[in-house]
Amino acid sequence: MNKRRGKNLGLLLLGAGPRLGSAALVAAALWAGFYWATSSSGPL
């Protein structure tokens, strides 16, 4: 039973690697945006 549940869990997490990679890229872009928004010079 536990073995089958473990196998099912593996199936549920199928494809998580590439998705995590894409999500990490999105997060990196957000933090690059943070650098841009907070460090650029401007009157205000």
Partner 1 sequence: MWEFVFAPFVDFGFMRRALLGCIAISVGATPVGVFLMLRRMSLTGDAMAHAILPGAAVGYLVSGLSLGAMTVGGLIAGMAVALLSGFVTRVTALREDASLAAFYLISLALGVLIVSTRGGNVDLMHVLFGTVLALNDAALILLCSIASLSVLTFALLFRPLVLECADPQFLRSVSGISAVTHFTFLALVVMNLVGGFHALGTLMAVGIMILPAAAARFWAASIGGLIVAAVVVALLSSLSGLLLSYHFGLPSGPAIILLAGLAYGVSLLLGPEGSLVASTLSRRTLKT
Chain residues 5-44 in contact with partner 1, contact rule CB under 8 A: 5, 8-9, 11-16, 19-20, 22-24, 26-27, 30-31, 33-34, 36-38, 40, 42-44
Q: 43 to each of 36, 37, 40, how far by Cα in Å?
A: 15, 13, 10
Contact status: 1 vs partner 1 (CB under 8 A):
no
Buried b / exposed e along 12-42 (16+ C-beta atoms within 10 A): eeeeeeeeeeeeeeeeeeeeeeeeeeeeeee
Cβ at position 29, least distance to partner 1 in Å: 9
Per CB under 8 A, residues contacting partner 1 are 5, 8-9, 11-16, 19-20, 22-24, 26-27, 30-31, 33-34, 36-38, 40, 42-44
